[in-house]
């Protein structure tokens, strides 16, 4: 396969061989996945400390992030890194080539030994994703994508679902971790709009990045949420668009990885979802 090289990185960073990036990121995801799987064994959950009561973090999150970031920075010293646990939660991105890492997406599931959680590693250049690796340790499913080269699950090409009526669509959203009045109001309005649309199924599985993988793999027709950060979206939003989904913000505008809202949907249902969500007020805080 022809190698893809990004040669015009801002700040004169070294050109990146995306095939090499992929193999290092896959190795890092498996290393973190081994830590996650060990913790999911009975009685082995790692120590939990709460960022907030609804947003836990564990020693395993921090250890996974240390492992992933050290493998990435050793191999790519010129790249910046942004990890969920190191950032202090502001999710800022610059134009430079940046590895954006969620060491465990779905931490609230993880702390309950619920295996619906994943490791997400995205490479972002000029604030746009160019490569994504997502690893679901419980199933050993490895999702990979490089911009322009398609989306893959364990090496098999992914394509979004062909369901074209909302009555047969499975739509995923999340309640998130914010509990202030305007967020609660937003979530209630969003859920109400969704129920009124009468899809076949509505699901809240508990991990934004893995939800996007479901859309890419054709196991869900749409996922939307106000709440996810760049580390939830960097890898999996690219996976979705490479699998043929329409990926925008919840108003249909260009996805901003730091904009904290996303709609990924099969193209044939995009207008219906956008229409349904049009009057949902965005949270203000
Ligand atoms: C969160 C989870 C959750 C979603 C939030 C995410 P984390 O990520 O994916 O399901 O509702 O928007 O930030 O904190 O588990 O990495």
Is residue 199 in contact with ligand 1, taking CB distance under 6 Å? Answer: no
Is residue 83 in contact with ligand 1, taking CB distance under 6 Å? Answer: no
- In this model, does residue 196 exceed pLDDT 90? yes
CA-CA distances (angstroms) from residue 227 to 52, 91, 239? Answer: 15, 12, 19
- Is-contact 127 257, C-beta < 8 A? yes
Is residue 207 in contact with ligand 1, taking CB distance under 6 Å? Answer: yes
Interval 120-131 mean pLDDT: 97
- Is-contact 109 211, C-beta < 8 A? no
- In this model, does residue 48 exceed pLDDT 90? no
232 flagged as catalytic? yes
105 flagged as catalytic? yes
How confident is the model at residue 62, as a pLDDT? 92
104 flagged as catalytic? yes
> How far is ligand 1, taken at its centre, from the CA of residue 172, in Å?
13
Label residue 39 by pLDDT band (50, 70, 90).
Answer: very high
The CA-to-CA distance between both ends of the chain, in Å, stands at: 47
> How far is ligand 1, taken at its centre, from the CA of residue 209, in Å?
8
Give the DSSP letter of residue 254: B
- In this model, does residue 225 exceed pLDDT 80? yes
- In this model, does residue 2 exceed pLDDT 90? no
How confident is the model at residue 13, as a pLDDT? 42
Is residue 227 in contact with ligand 1, taking CB distance under 6 Å? Answer: yes
> How far is ligand 1, taken at its centre, from the CA of residue 108, in Å?
8
pLDDT in tens, 132-173: 999 999 999 999 999 999 999 999 999 999 999 999 999 999
50 flagged as catalytic? no
Residue 127, C-beta contacts closer than 8 angstroms, at least 6 positions apart: 93, 95, 256, 257, 258
> How far is ligand 1, taken at its centre, from the CA of residue 4, in Å?
31
Give the DSSP letter of residue 244: T
How confident is the model at residue 89, as a pLDDT? 46
Interval 195-206 mean pLDDT: 98
Interatomic CA distance for residues 132 and 13, integer angstroms:
20
282: enclosing H helix or E strand = none
102 flagged as catalytic? yes
Q: Scanning the structure block, which residue is given the tokens 């679901």?
A: 136
Is residue 102 in contact with ligand 1, taking CB distance under 6 Å? Answer: yes
Interatomic CA distance for residues 30 and 159, integer angstroms:
24
Burial class (CB in 10 A: 0-12, 13-18, 19+), 138: middle
């Amino acid at each position: 396969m022809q190698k893809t090289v990004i040669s015009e990185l801002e700040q004169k960073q070294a050109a990146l061989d995306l095939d090499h990036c992929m193999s290092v990121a896959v190795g890092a995801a498996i290393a973190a996945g081994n830590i996650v799987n060990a913790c999911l064994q009975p009685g082995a959950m790692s120590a939990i400390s709460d960022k907030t009561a609804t947003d836990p973090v564990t020693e395993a999150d921090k250890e996974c992030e240390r492992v992933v970031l050290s493998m990435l920075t050793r191999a790519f010293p010129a790249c910046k890194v942004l990890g969920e646990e190191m950032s202090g939660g502001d999710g800022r991105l610059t134009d430079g080539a940046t590895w954006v890492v969620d060491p465990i997406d779905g931490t609230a599931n993880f702390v309950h030994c619920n295996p619906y959680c994943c490791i997400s590693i995205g490479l972002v250049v000029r604030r746009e994703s160019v490569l994504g690796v997502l690893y679901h340790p419980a199933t050993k499913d490895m999702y990979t994508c490089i911009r322009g080269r398609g989306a893959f699950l364990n090496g098999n090409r992914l394509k979004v679902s062909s369901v074209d009526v909302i009555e047969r669509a499975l739509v995923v959203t999340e309640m998130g971790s914010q509990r202030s009045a305007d967020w609660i109001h937003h979530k209630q309005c969003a859920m109400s709009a969704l129920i009124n649309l009468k899809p076949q199924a509505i699901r809240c599985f508990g991990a934004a990045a893995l939800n996007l993988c479901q859309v890419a793999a054709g196991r869900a027709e749409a996922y939307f949420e106000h709440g996810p950060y760049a580390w939830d979206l960097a890898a999996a939003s690219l996976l979705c668009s490479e699998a043929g989904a329409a990926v925008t913000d919840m108003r249909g505008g260009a996805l901003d990885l730091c904009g904290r809202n996303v709609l990924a949907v099969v193209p044939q249902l995009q207008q219906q979802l956008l229409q349904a969500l049009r009057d949902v007020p965005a949270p203000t805080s």
